[in-house]
């Protein structure tokens, strides 16, 4: 039986740094910036050659840039102003990736400037713990530096889950990171996993006119959404040509010289020349040597923390994807800042807001904040619904973006706003108008605010006035 490490290692009398942050994604950046503003001597460890983490290099930024390019391409091809063309403009995945890479480069330069201006040392290499105050950093050339700090923040993020029975070395089998290396122009794509990432890439590939098979192990798309919004997404993906298969699990995935064959447990077989596995993520904790400090990650590679993001070891904190829910870049940045407060003051007066907005960059876009109809019904809350359909808004008509709905859920008696759900162009921007009013205290967070406020005309924001009047008219 192996001896358990002693997490109560004697505290050194001097340190290289007050705090070391492992990872430079949103969570690490939030922690490092707040720590240095509070006068701490801070270093960040980044195992890749550039700062920014998975959010900048493989996740949020490139996928959203890809989606934007595809949406503009679709808009161009469908615009009647250009209908005199004989053929639609065709771009490949590799073509539109060039725009995404340009955005990534700008983000890297900007974030590197943050660390430089705030005098945060950036150390490139793979970090692993020696004890609760010491880490080894293995550089790209194999040299190892040993560095000490009073406190640490683990912000190493996550990576796509890769089941052992799928050969990800095959040139036609990808995960949501490696798909950014796609070189060929596939005619048909199988996407296994219909979570946020799977649905977003289904939209991207359909926008490029690829045939898409979207395989979902559950009985509905994004079941955490309001059911009406989930149904709308399913309808529009199918209407745009995607084939969605619910309640399916793979039996085998085998690549050959020309493509990939997937067999499902239901007996179905399908073939494509590109296969994307997008079913789950794993926290990046396996190389940290956590046992040296007495920490243990769960089966998903995630660490348990308290309300101030401190782990079971009182000088080691963790933020972002590595702690699980909500696994959002926006929340990770706030978690990092909150952790920095707790590290310097012993506590934090701020917490993540209760209603964290969700943005899903499918085509059309989805965003929501607050409770769903299912949740309110289950809780027996007497609510009512106000709706505005984008097709009735002048701004949507001008932009030729008629698909979409804004939906406001509010209490029948107090008129307090309980949830906002938006489906359509700029949904992730529009939702923040409602979020701002929801967060007001007292009587300022009622739907009547929107009924009595003058909006610019024509705007998409006007949907709030239309939805408010629609909902208030339902009361009796």
Residue numbers belonging to the annotated binding site for NAD(+)? 193-200, 280
For residue 278, what is the enclosing H or E element?
none
Question: Distance (Å, rounded) from C-alpha 455 to C-alpha 439?
Answer: 20
The strand pairing partners of 424, in sequence order, are: 404
Question: Distance (Å, rounded) from C-alpha 155 to C-alpha 9?
Answer: 23
Question: Distance (Å, rounded) from C-alpha 342 to C-alpha 338?
Answer: 6
What value, to the nearest 5°, has the Cα angle with vertex 333 and ends 332 and 334?
90
Residue 259 tokens read as 């493509």
Local structure of residue 291 (DSSP, 8 states): G
Helical packing angle, 329-345 and 26-37, nearest 10° = 30
Annotated binding site: 46-55, 64, 156-158, 193-200, 280, 321
Annotated binding site for FAD: 46-55, 64, 156-158, 321
Question: Distance (Å, rounded) from C-alpha 1 to C-alpha 9?
Answer: 21
Phi, psi of 24 (to 5 degrees): -120, 25
**Number of Cβ atoms within 10 Å of the Cβ of 350:** 10
Max CA pair span of the chain: 77
What value, to the nearest 5°, has the Cα angle with vertex 14 and ends 45 and 138?
30
């Amino acid at each position: 039986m192996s001896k358990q490490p002693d997490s109560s290692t004697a505290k050194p009398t001097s340190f290289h740094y007050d705090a070391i942050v492992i990872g430079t994604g949103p969570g690490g950046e939030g922690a490092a910036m707040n720590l240095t503003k509070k006068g701490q001597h801070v270093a960040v460890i980044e195992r890749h050659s550039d700062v920014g983490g998975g959010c900048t290099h493989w996740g949020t930024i490139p996928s959203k840039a890809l989606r934007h390019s595809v949406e503009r391409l679709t808009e161009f091809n469908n615009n009647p102003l250009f209908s005199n063309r004989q053929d639609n403009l065709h771009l490949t995945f590799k073509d539109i990736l060039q725009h995404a890479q340009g955005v990534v480069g700008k983000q890297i330069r900007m974030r590197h400037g943050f660390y430089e201006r705030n005098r945060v040392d950036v150390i490139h290499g793979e970090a692993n713990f020696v004890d609760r105050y010491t880490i080894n950093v293995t550089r790209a050339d194999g040299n190892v530096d040993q560095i000490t700090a009073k406190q640490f923040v683990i912000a190493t993020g996550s990576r796509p889950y890769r089941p052992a029975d799928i050969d990800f070395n095959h040139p036609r089998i990808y995960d949501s990171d490696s798909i950014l290396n796609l070189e060929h122009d596939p005619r048909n794509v199988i996407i296994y996993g219909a979570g946020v990432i799977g649905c977003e890439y289904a939209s991207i590939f359909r926008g490029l006119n690829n045939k898409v098979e979207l395989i979902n192990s559950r009985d509905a798309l994004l079941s955490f959404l309001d059911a009406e919004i989930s149904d709308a997404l399913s309808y529009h993906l199918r209407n745009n040509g995607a084939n969605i298969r619910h309640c399916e699990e793979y039996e085998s995935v085998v690549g050959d010289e020309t493509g990939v064959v997937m067999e499902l447990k239901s007996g179905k077989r399908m073939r494509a020349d590109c296969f994307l596995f997008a079913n789950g993520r794993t926290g990046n904790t396996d190389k940290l040597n956590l046992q040296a400090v007495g920490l243990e990650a769960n089966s998903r590679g995630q660490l348990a923390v308290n309300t101030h993001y401190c782990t079971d070891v009182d000088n080691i904190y963790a933020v972002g994807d590595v702690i699980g829910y909500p696994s959002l870049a926006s929340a990770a940045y706030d978690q990092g800042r909150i952790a920095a407060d707790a590290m310097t003051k012993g506590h934090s007066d701020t917490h993540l807001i209760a209603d964290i907005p969700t943005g899903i960059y499918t085509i059309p876009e989805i965003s929501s904040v607050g409770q769903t109809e299912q949740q309110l019904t289950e809780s027996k809350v007497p609510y009512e619904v106000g709706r505005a359909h984008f097709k009735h808004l002048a701004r949507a008509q001008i932009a030729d973006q008629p698909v979409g709905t804004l939906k406001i859920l509010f209490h029948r008696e107090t008129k307090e706003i309980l949830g906002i759900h938006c489906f359509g162009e700029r949904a992730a921007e529009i939702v923040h108008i409602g979020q701002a009013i929801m967060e007001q205290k007292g009587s300022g967070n009622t739907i009547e605010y929107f009924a009595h406020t003058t909006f610019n005309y024509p705007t998409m924001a006007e949907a709030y006035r239309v939805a408010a009047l629609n909902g208030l008219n339902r009361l009796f």
